A and B are shown apart, each in its own frame.
Chain A
Amino acid sequence: MRMFRQATAEAMQPATTPRQTTAREPAPSAAPTYRTVGDHRAANPIITARDVNVYYGDKHAIQHVNLDIGLNEVIALIGPSGCGKSTFLRCLNRMNDTIESARVTGEIKLYDEDIYSKQMDVVMLRARVGMVFQKPNPFPKSIYDNVAYGPRIHGLARDRTELDEIVQKSLERAGLWNEVKDRLEEPGTGLSGGQQQRLCIARTIAVSPEVILMDEPCSALDPIATARIEDLIDELRQNYAIVIVTHSMQQAARVSQRTAYFHLGRLIEVGKTEEIFTNPRHKLTEDYITGRFG
């Protein structure tokens, strides 16, 4: 962990980041480009990823992935462990910058801005592309301060009234307001696991992102808390584009409109969720969703 962290210093000053390149470099392992089955394009794309490759040192973790993230839809990334779905997710808001050995090539655009270009400010990018993590990670602060953290660092509120409004609205949207409105000053770490995760979602919403990335957001929660988060994801779809990595195929089927199946760093198949689950076109997809492996 230690050694990974220092890369962030550079990541925060994109102008001096030498490691990231937008030029298409030839892959060292020169694997033949795999053609994804299905249509990788979305109707209203916000993020477009083209020919994305990620290397961890010599390991080619993501190979030639093309995928769009569309407005008002949930796209689920599924696949066996180590297939690269989380790595791909973390490319979308440059969280991979914190890993020193990681190198990203290809092109990822947020609307028409290349997020790996030298002009892109990582701070602004992450405000626009928010992230919810696998394990609920509220800060050791009060519930209020947890939600107000993002608006404060980005200067989104002019005074306390505005900040109060943002906090309330975010907690309401995350479906947590009624449970915590009387104890906003209590520490966020005192909430239950499911409440903590909704607090983290509220915290992410509070900076008004356009895209929300969720990395297995329910894997540490019980079924009831999971159901609440899933309902919440469905509501949030009205305003945001959501990318969710999940190990649960039922969850993917329940919450997503599109599903992308990753296998060994390749995007094998992508399409409408009901088609992927009822009528997979690739053998590997079929084997995975019918539970033959993974």
Chain B
Amino acid sequence: MSISTLLAALLALTSVAYIAGRRRAVVGSASAPIRTFHSLPGYYGGYVALWCLLPALALLAIWVVVEPIVLRAAVIDSLPPELAELPEDRFGLFLADVRNLVDGNLVFGAPDPAVQAAAERYAEVRKTSRHLLLGSLLVVGVASLVFALRRVQPAMRARIKVEKAIEYLLIGASLVAILTTIGIFLSVLFEALRFFRLVSPIDFLFGLEWSPQTAIREDQVGSSGAFGAVPLFVGTLLISGIAMLVAVPVGLMSAIYLSEYAGPRMRSWAKPLLELLAGIPTVVYGYFAALWVGPALRRLGDALGLEVASESALGAGLVMGIMIIPFVSSLSDDVINAVPQSLRDGSYGLGATKSETIRQVVLPAALPGIVGAVLLAVSRAIGETMIVVMAAGLAANLSLNPLEAVTTVTVQIVTLLVGDQEFDSAKTLAAFALGLVLFLVTLALNVVALRVVRKYREQYE
């Protein structure tokens, strides 16, 4: 009997509890004067359902944690001593074999008789455990259901209790997001610290050479293992810079057009269309950059007598800029709309034209918010991966020439982790150090941007 079946049974019991609780309130209030019961019947139903569900769910959660420990102990008890005294990692493998056999997964070769025996024991104990679990779940569920049902009385304030439970549910939901962020940060941080034990942070942050191939054999050629990340930072900044040169003017001007000039009809189709640009998968932008923009730039360069790499920073930056336009335009549009109409009236009332009003009154008033929008776009550009993987190349050239191929932090993270990698070499761990840097930079940018935007909002409220 699997956990999901148990869960389904529990939910069925909960629905019964809801119906019973609600019914009791309805029946109770039918004979009494109106509004005798403190809350509406649905709240009593919810109250009983929660009482039925939560203790059982807690029991189930504890069981899920404790069961493997018990099973493991049971299997160890039944094993011949030479197996029980295996070292920790070998024993883990053995246990995995046992589990696979029980669950009917594919096992290589004919199963070892020891494994066979252990598996039988494992299955047996687990079966008992599950029966026990089902029994105790039913007992707990029904007992708390009956307990809660007896408490369905006119004076019991079910609404307040159910609303409180909803509040905790919502707190839990937001905690999931926050804890996940913290968890991701910590996991990246610990792996990065392992890397910094192998390579000093100074070499990593200020080294000018990036060549992460570490030698497996002593005499291997071309595996210097240099981890100076400066070329990657410069490449990232170069491509993001080019992207912003495209996205900021185009995005800002389209925001001005949409908010100040476009009529309602034009706006109603142009704005969603522009935002559609943000919905295109970045992989598709990647094709576009690699198959079309790159070669086109190269041909253009040939015609002008310039040497252009077919995977140039310029191509990747241009396409990334196009991808970011909707971020800039949509956020700036909101900010420009928040500038009070009275300021525009004041300017028109003095005989200013539309463009004078926009340049001298609306844009200065919206400037802090626009800065916030641009910062958010920058953090997006720095973290962007797919376009640069496909269009920016792998060579870690330390160069500010946009016509050459450069590589970025995100590209290197991808190449370091793709394929079969051992997780204790500096090469693999370097990806986490890069990830940490990326995370910190975008986090800082986001914090600053959000703060700027918020400060601006207060100004007109």
> With A6-B261, A133-B342, A133-B346 known to touch, is A140 a contact of B364 (CB < 8 Å)?
yes
Residue B360 at the chain A interface, CB threshold 8 Å? yes
A:126-176 near B, CB below 8 Å = 126-127, 130-133, 135, 137-141, 149-150, 153-154
Does B264 contact A2, Cβ atoms closer than 8 Å? yes
The residue in chain B whose Cβ has the minimal distance to the Cβ of A150 is B350
Taking a contact as CB atoms under 8 Å apart, the answer to whether A207 and B337 are in contact is no
Give min CB distance, A39 to chain B, whole Å: 30
Q: B349 contacts the other chain (Cβ, under 8 Å)?
A: yes
B345–A130 touching, CB < 8 Å: no
B361 touches A (CB below 8 Å): yes
| Given A2-B264, A3-B264, A149-B360, also A12-B353 (CB < 8 A) | yes
Q: A2-B337, A5-B260, A135-B342 are in contact. Are A140 and B365 (CB under 8 A)?
A: yes
Whether A127 lies near B350 (C-beta < 8 A) is yes
A149:B347 contact, CB within 8 angstroms: yes
Beyond A1-B341, A9-B354, whether A204 also contacts B361 by CB under 8 A is: no
Which of A6, A126, A133 is close to B351, meaning CB atoms less than 8 Å apart? Answer: A126
Does A86 lie at the interface of the complex (its beta carbon under 8 Å from any beta carbon of B)? no
Category for how many chain A residues contact B? 35 or more
Q: Is residue B263 contacting chain A, with contact meaning CB distance below 8 A?
A: yes
Flag if B350 contacts A137 (CB, 8 Å).
no
| Contact A137 B262, beta carbon cutoff 8 Å | no
Q: Which residue from A8, A140, A153 sits with its C-beta under 8 Å from B350?
A: A153
A130 touches B350 (CB 8 A): yes
A120 at the interface (CB under 8 A from B): no
- Docked CA distance A100–B361 (Å): 22
Chain A residue, CB-CB nearest to B262:
A6
- When distances are taken between beta carbons in the complex, the residues of chain B under 8 Å from A138 are 346
Q: Is B151 an interface residue (CB 8 A)?
A: no
Interface pair B343/A139, CB less than 8 Å apart? yes
**Interface of chain A, main secondary structure:** helix
Q: Are A130 and B354 in contact (CB under 8 A)?
A: no
Q: Counting CB contacts under 8 A, is A87 at the interface?
A: no
A27 at the interface (CB under 8 A from B): no
Across-interface contacts of B337 in A (CB, < 8 A): 2
Minimal beta-carbon separation of B363 from chain A (angstroms): 11
Report if A200 contacts B (CB, 8 A): yes
Residue of B nearest to A128 (CB): B351
- Whether A137 touches B352, Cβ cut-off 8 Å, given contacts A3-B263, A149-B360, is no
Residues in chain B within 8 A of chain A (CB atoms): 259-264, 267, 337, 340-354, 356, 360-361, 364-365, 459
**8 new A-B pairs (CB below 8 Å) besides A3-B264, A149-B347, A153-B356?**
A2-B264, A5-B260, A131-B349, A138-B346, A139-B347, A139-B360, A139-B361, A150-B350
Chain A interfacial positions (CB closer than 8 Å to B)? 1-3, 5-6, 8-9, 12, 93, 95, 98, 122-127, 130-133, 135, 137-141, 149-150, 153-154, 200, 203-204, 207
Ordered by A's residue number, 22 sampled pairs between the chains whose C-beta atoms are within 8 Å are: A1-B341, A2-B259, A2-B267, A2-B337, A6-B264, A9-B261, A12-B353, A12-B354, A98-B345, A123-B351, A133-B345, A133-B346, A135-B342, A137-B342, A139-B346, A139-B360, A140-B459, A150-B352, A153-B356, A154-B351, A203-B346, A204-B349
